[in-house]
């Protein structure tokens, strides 16, 4: 699957996104909310001193 992500220097972002989606469908991979649970950092950010 890594091969579809590598840029060959000719395909743009959108072309690569479409190829990625196509491969996901071919492989019958399904993403659920559980796959992304706890992924986001909910902290307020780093402290900044002025």
Q: Is residue 32 part of a domain?
A: no
Which domain range does residue 8 map to? 1-25
Query: Whole-model pTM?
Result: 0.52
Q: Is residue 37 part of a domain?
A: no
Q: Is residue 35 part of a domain?
A: no
HEC string for 1-50:
CHHHHCCCCCCCHHHHHHHHHHHHHHCCCCCCHHHHCCCCCCCCCCCCCC
Q: Is residue 12 part of a domain?
A: yes
Q: How far apart are CA 8 and CA 6, in angstroms?
A: 6
Mean pLDDT per segment of 10 residues, for the chain of length 50 residues? Answer: 56 90 95 90 82
Q: Is residue 36 part of a domain?
A: no
Total domains in the fold of the chain: 1
Compute φ and ψ for 40, nearest 5 degrees. -80, 135
Q: Is residue 49 part of a domain?
A: no
Q: Is residue 45 part of a domain?
A: no
């Amino acid at each position: 699957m890594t091969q579809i992500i590598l840029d060959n220097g000719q395909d743009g972002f959108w072309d690569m996104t479409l190829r990625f989606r196509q491969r996901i469908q071919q492989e019958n991979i399904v993403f659920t909310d559980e796959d992304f649970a706890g992924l986001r950092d909910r902290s307020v950010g780093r402290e900044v001193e002025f």
